[in-house]
Amino acid sequence: MMRSSRPSPFHLVFFLLGALMLLFVVAPLVRITLDTSTSELADAIHDSELWGSIAMTLRAAGIATLISVLFGIPLAYLLAHHRFPGRSLVLGIIDIPIMIPHSAAGLALLTVIGRYSLAQKAARPLGIEFVGEEAGIAVAMAFVSVPFLVNAAREGFESVPVRLEKVARTLGATPARVFVTISLPLAWRAIVSGMVLMWARGISEFGAVIIIAYHPMATPVLVFQRFNDYGLPYARVAAVILILVCVVGFGVLRFLSRPAQRETG
């Protein structure tokens, strides 16, 4: 007996609701891009302030991501392989930066890396300043985006077959060698995806960054400043270019995560 290929009303309703959700996400991005003329985009090529801001934003987000890898990957590995008292609490703490308002996160960070903080006093002999500097922007980006890296890496390590690690241990491999030769190679796609997502999230951060450093201007702050001072037309080009950068980052993320999904399937 052949089944009818006609979709049920239930599926039609879900299709409509899903389409509206996609429209809600895509429409503003498409509209602001279409409203930006080619002449405005051409003028933006010679906007040294904009491109300097974009370069600094990409660099700060990259530094934040690379430094976070050194601390986040070991934490993710421990959370994936060990059940210890307080593990649920640690998992909750990791997600706190996602839940709290990012302006509040910036104020909280200011108490730790402010001009008279212990962290700043320790970093000053090394020539590192946080408030009003790129280093502070990187710290703010890391704080709000590191949950994406840790959670993605943890899920990647959890997907590694435990029996492979146990076999390696029975053959005399040390925990460090198991990590380097088995766990890390099998979880690398999830880790890289988390790194790309953290980097892209850092690029778009505004609330925490503006508290730590209004100058030099990260690109989200630059967009806000131009909109606040000159209005939508002047800020639109910077916004469109920032959106395109973030979309490219998301495209890289999807490209990196797709092979892993195929293997799982």
Q: What is the pLDDT of residues 146-199, one digit of tens each?
A: 999 999 999 999 999 888 888 888 888 888 898 999 999 999 989 988 998 899
Q: What is the pLDDT of residues 12-64, one digit of tens each?
A: 999 999 999 999 999 999 999 898 888 888 888 888 999 999 999 999 999 99
Q: What is the pLDDT of residue 260?
A: 45
Structure tokens at 112: 């730790």
Which amino acid, 48?
S
Delimit the domains of the chain by residue range.
49-264
- The band of 256, judged by pLDDT with boundaries at 50, 70 and 90, is low
Q: What is the pLDDT of residue 131?
A: 95
Query: For domain 49-264, which CATH number applies: 1.10.3720.10, 3.40.50.720, 3.40.640.10, 3.40.50.20?
Result: 1.10.3720.10
- The band of 258, judged by pLDDT with boundaries at 50, 70 and 90, is low
The pTM (predicted TM-score) of the whole model is: 0.86
The continuous run of DSSP H or E covering 185 comes out as helix 184-203
Residue 173 backbone zone (phi > 0: left; psi -120 to 50: alpha; other: beta)? beta
Cα(90)–Cα(112) distance, integer angstroms: 20
Q: Exposure pattern of 135-171 as b/e (b: 16+ CB <10 Å)? A: bbbbbbbbbbbbbbbbbbbbbbbeebeeeebeebeee
Structure tokens at 72: 């986040």
